[in-house]
Structure 1
């Protein structure tokens, strides 16, 4: 039974690549793990703490072997035949359960060859029970099918299990059982159908789980990429502006240039810390700190501004403060880098963030970049809406208004 999953790279068909490597074209996929994965048994003996649950799951069905056991003990067969039958049944149980503990005893041979060898041993055990239990030996069939249907991929397990069931039915038709033939054939077919249906359901459930984990992993990567983009885009813009300012001041005002460079150094350290915490999933920007950062960035860019006071946003709910902080960071970065604006106005209420400028307008960059796409994604996930419009449509500098509404 599948138990748990981890990210494993795909190797050649029928095998797995070493832990931590990549499959074709560097594609990492989520593969089942635990001792049982979809279509495979573990390649090594189970650990002691893993054997109990596996043996219970596989062994609970052995209760159906009580029927041939009772038939052998209470039948009219000679004592020697009964002893042989009971020994065959005991050997069958040992081989069947042992195969769950050590499914790959001959490592140099393919998996299906190992299972075929175990199947041959099981069939010999069944033959030993027939003289004492008679037709009750048909109760052994589902166990023989199980070691093919569940451990192997269906492209192997399905044809082999169908072939075994067909052989079993042919044997049932060839025996002189009178009216009992029906009760020999129907359980055989039913066992095959039920186990195949269960196997397909398990595989479908496992595939759904794997797809869900791959989707969650993709979303996590997208979130980290979006966060790193937002952090670096804003920080590098401010660093560039302050460095340019320091370069202009280095001859006329060395002390102020030194002060600007000190701020650049501090900002670069803060940015490095933000990237580290963002990659670790620990970073959540503060709206108050972002307002202060926006003030510094706009000043460095020579853009006049109107910003709300930090105290005015302190009482907003934490999740809205975080969302508005991300959006404010990206919006101010876009104003500085793309708009060519001389003035920027920011308004924040409990459910709305508005950033307006007097720049060249959204027509100058009709195709949204990663930053704007990431911002829209954040807002949509929070159940809000994002809109862009022109402040003065038709003019040479129509400006842009970005509005986030929750």
Structure 2
């Protein structure tokens, strides 16, 4: 069982929230010039403001309410003292862009915009021409800052999600590769090991009756085992290139060893079958012939190739004991035929079974032919 480790939530560096507090020196300086009682109240309110700013910058919980409280304090300072206190809006502005939801962001942004509009409206007539540009630039930056922070955090979140998605894709790819190796081992070595088993059983029976034939069977076993080793090497290196023609040749060997007569009918037309389709049909043919040897108790097997319209058809039939519906369902749930279906999906192919008790079995593979357009 795979376990996923939750990543810690990203938080802005503490120094980022602390360093900007140096600009609180200007409102503090203004408050120090007020009468003692008013100064103490103003400094106490500034300390509360600083605490709420740092806390809300670092923590999601209560961020919305604390941001609104900060803007309430700014509103009090602006309309109680002078317009310069509106520069304190630079503190809650980035926090608005860090809200956990769009709704809270929109509400906070609306409060911020209303505060700036009311401030400009209240003090506009008293502003000197040299101060207008400075104030308007500050207002513009304050309004842009939440949007910039929101977009920046969204980009970070998307990157994190992309990283997680890539990790998940890598994990699924590894699992799929394991399944592919399992299918290839079953399809490739299952056929070869079945042939070795049949030939060794035959050699055992012939030792006393026909030593020369037994020796030939042993030599065939040695050649087959070498071929199996070569197949494993090809599998490991990803170079397994089974084709229908190759598998028909292999089918003749394994069916002859099982005393099953093979008949091959038809062939694919032109243009030539694409390599990937040829490979997949070859592997399907291998699995089908292996099943004929293992399960059918047949004396004859027919491999048919042909085309129906724009569809390539490959069929494997036998005259064995056949299967009922329940047996077909059990057989199609096995790893071999499951591997067939998964391989055929890659080329939009399908497989169907036609069988009945004592009527033999017919397996048909159908793959649409992909033809190149004249313009390509």
So what's the TM-score if we normalise by structure 1?
0.58
Q: Could you say what secondary structure the match of 2:59 adopts?
A: helix
Distance in 1 separating the partners of 2:270 and 2:207: 38
Q: CA RMSD in A?
A: 3.8
Q: Could you say what secondary structure the match of 2:262 adopts?
A: strand
Distance in 2 separating the partners of 1:325 and 1:344: 16
* Aligned twin of 1:400: 361
Matched, 1:206 2:163: yes
Distance in 2 separating the partners of 1:39 and 1:163: 19
So what's the TM-score if we normalise by structure 2?
0.63
Q: Could you say what secondary structure the match of 2:351 adopts?
A: strand
Distance in 2 separating the partners of 1:313 and 1:379: 21
Matched, 1:327 2:327: no
- Alpha-carbon distance change, 235 to 314 in structure 1, aligned in 2, over 3 angstroms: farther
Of the structure 1 ranges 379-388 and 168-177, higher mean CA displacement relative to structure 2 is found in: 168-177
After superposition, give the CA deviation of every residue in 1:196-217 in whole Å (9 maximum; x if it has no partner).
5444434433333333333333
1:4-403 map, 5 Å: 25=1, 27=2, 39=8, 119=14, 121-122=15-16, 125-131=19-25, 160-161=59-60, 170=69, 173-175=72-74, 176-178=77-79, 180=86, 183-184=89-90, 187-193=93-99, 194=150, 197-308=154-265, 315-349=272-306, 351-363=312-324, 365-366=327-328, 367-368=330-331, 369-390=334-355, 393=356, 397-403=358-364
* Equivalent residues of 2:67, 2:96 under 8 A apart: no
Q: Could you say what secondary structure the match of 1:292 adopts?
A: helix
* Equivalent residues of 2:242, 2:279 under 8 A apart: yes
CA deviation after TM superposition for structure 1 residue 242, in Å: 0.5
Which structure has the bigger radius of gyration? 2
Unaligned 5+ residue runs, structure 1? 1-24, 32-36, 42-111, 136-140, 149-156
Distance in 1 separating the partners of 2:3 and 2:209: 56
Q: Could you say what secondary structure the match of 1:348 adopts?
A: strand
Q: Could you say what secondary structure the match of 2:241 adopts?
A: coil
Distance in 2 separating the partners of 1:133 and 1:232: 82
